[in-house]
Homo-oligomer: A and B are copies of this chain.
């Protein structure tokens, strides 16, 4: 049993061939991936299967969904210990308008925001758009 299989089983996700491949793909990427990215990476795979796999991964805390403002949902593996809940691991995300990549800045937590009285925060999303480190070198 490989590490990936163990990881999936630990999260109560049956480690099917497709799921292992998708997990591997996510682990190799250094930026968040869209459903279409995976679709293109595995010509043979069904869009629906990929879609539902990502859904399952998200529900089980294997990936978190990222809304980077492009209106295309992105996904990235959760760091160990990430539970994607408020006041816990709310890191910010950066979307590069040049290479179109979106990355987790896991070391950069979202600062606490004071709200007007009566408002109750349940989730926070902070996205910075601009030029990433790779693109700014060229």
Residues of A in contact with B (beta carbons under 8 Å apart): 67, 69, 71, 92, 94, 97, 105, 107-108, 110-111, 113-134, 136-137
The answer to whether B126 touches A126, judged by C-beta atoms less than 8 angstroms apart, is: yes
Which residues of the other chain, B, contact A110 by a CB distance below 8 angstroms? Answer: 126
- By beta carbon, the residue of chain B nearest A93 is B125
Task: Pick the residue among B108, B115, B118, B120 that contacts A115 (CB under 8 A).
Answer: B108
Which residues of the other chain, B, contact A107 by a CB distance below 8 angstroms? Answer: 116
- By beta carbon, the residue of chain B nearest A126 is B126
- By beta carbon, the residue of chain B nearest A137 is B118
The answer to whether B108 touches A133, judged by C-beta atoms less than 8 angstroms apart, is: no
Which residues of the other chain, B, contact A69 by a CB distance below 8 angstroms? Answer: 67, 125
